Amino acid sequence: MKRRLFSRRFLIFPVALIVGGLALQMLEGHEARAVPHASSPFAALAKFSEILQVVQENYVDDVAEPDLIKGAINGMLESLDPHSSYMDTEEFKEMQVETKGEFGGLGIEVTMENGVVKVVSPIEDTPAFRAGVQTGDLIIKLDTTAVRGMTLNEAVSRMRGKPGSTIVLTVVRQGASSTLEIPIIRDVIKIHSVKGAKMEAPGIGYVRITNFQSHTTEDLQKAIEGLKKEAGGKLDGLVLDLRNNPGGLLNQAVGVSDLFLNEGVVVSTRTREGEVDRMSANPGDILDGAPMVVLINGGSASASEIVSGALQDHHRAVLMGVRSFGKGSVQTIMPMSDGSALRLTTARYYTASGRSIQAKGIDPDIEVAAVQAQTRVPANHSIQEADLEGHLTVEGEAGKQGAAAQDAAPQDSDEIGSDGTITRTIEDFQLRRATDLLQGFKAFQGMKPH
């Protein structure tokens, strides 16, 4: 058997072309394989196999073949779009755990953008959320390692780790004068997707969905039934909070929408062959037609946008906040025979009216920025009988302190100006506006024509 001898000839390039500091050499003596005709379905595989062999035989360091294959698969999928990816057996197992609501890590939903990791949304009550990670943050370093050059799965794998261990994220944030270093202590992330159910005002309920898991529809139904019971059997209005909800399972987005719709298309998906799958609502509205406000923002993505779009298109709810993220594609999990899986974009989805929100997002009906609004309360407010502690009512029962007196009385977080004016910060201005709107609906419905 002949030994192949490789002679190396150095190629000299103009300085302008070697800024990257590359030393290039020509590999001679390599015997090219016979490649099938270009029209053959095996031609591409033969080319890949040849390149794989050359890399294995000549790369400067030893590289395990499984790592090369995995890298090639990742590169192929990530060249398609930011949401298609490959999961090895361990990553696939973790993904299955995540959809059930418990996993280890930091608690952020991320995507890849221009070679860095972009935060879609921090998940409420997780280490990342408490550390101050924000929607839109660009993660450029994980500890001391630059993110550029990593795949999304590699970056996610580095962010996960043993609970109690610390990782430092270096992020670029819009409006910040320099990069930010955010230390985060990893923890076991337990996600309860339906949270914060409460009566925001008399007759007005509030509930938040943080993401869409396998039991979200069921849990939301229980939460709303609890609010109805607390309200005496019926709600006059509901605020559904989808802010910073990165999405999740498509069937749960349809199920949540169905809770509030009596009929009609919730969402449709279309494949590249033009196949259309329409998912529709069943009769029955859990609120019996009571008005709704849905809160959205730039962290509301995917399944959140399906719900928002369905309720907006059917004129079932008023959307309030700022434009949503704009992810209008559907990913299908395709298990492989070895226990790995592909997350592959297989369809685009369209709202009930047929609009695509891909890279556009959903615009709210009423735009309300997430600001800490301030209200000024005159300190010389005229106190009336109804404002006095223990005042008598018409029925002769002891009264409670009136709302006007509560508004006029200084609170711990207030700032009192030199003129005696109280400046009060409203922590969640968007929620306040949503509640005010629903109370307005309630007031109008209570009016009787004379």
Q: Among all residues, which ones are annotated catalytic?
A: 302, 313, 327
For 385, which DSSP code?
G
Q: Is 82 helix (H, G, I), strand (E, B) or coil?
A: coil
Token couple for 407? 């508004």
Q: Which of 243, 254, 207, 213 is nearest to 228 (CA)?
A: 207
Amino acid at site 333: I
CB 314 within 8 A of CB 339: no
- d(Cα 159, Cα 104) in Å, to the nearest integer? 10
Cα(240)–Cα(242) distance, integer angstroms = 6
Contact (Cβ atoms closer than 8 angstroms) between residue 205 and residue 198:
yes
Q: Are 235 and 285 in contact (CB under 8 A)?
A: no
CB atoms within 10 A of CB 177: 5
CA 433 remoteness from chain centre = 23
Query: What single-letter amino acid sits at 229?
Result: K
C-alpha distances (whole Å) from 253 to each of 259, 281, 361 are 10, 11, 16
- Look-up: residue for tokens 């929607």? 135
The residue behind tokens 């004016």 is 421
DSSP 12-28: ---GGG-TT----EEE-
Distances (CA, A) of 293 to 108, 194, 217, 226: 26, 17, 18, 19
Label residue 430 exposed, middle or buried (CB < 10 Å: 0-12, 13-18, 19+).
Answer: buried
How far apart are the C-alpha atoms of 191 and 202, rounded to whole Å? 29
Closest by CA position to 430, among listed 364, 377, 376, 378: 364
Q: What is the DSSP letter of 396?
A: S
Residues 66, 55: contact at Cβ < 8 Å?
no
Question: Do the Cβ atoms of 262 and 283 come closer than 8 Å?
Answer: yes
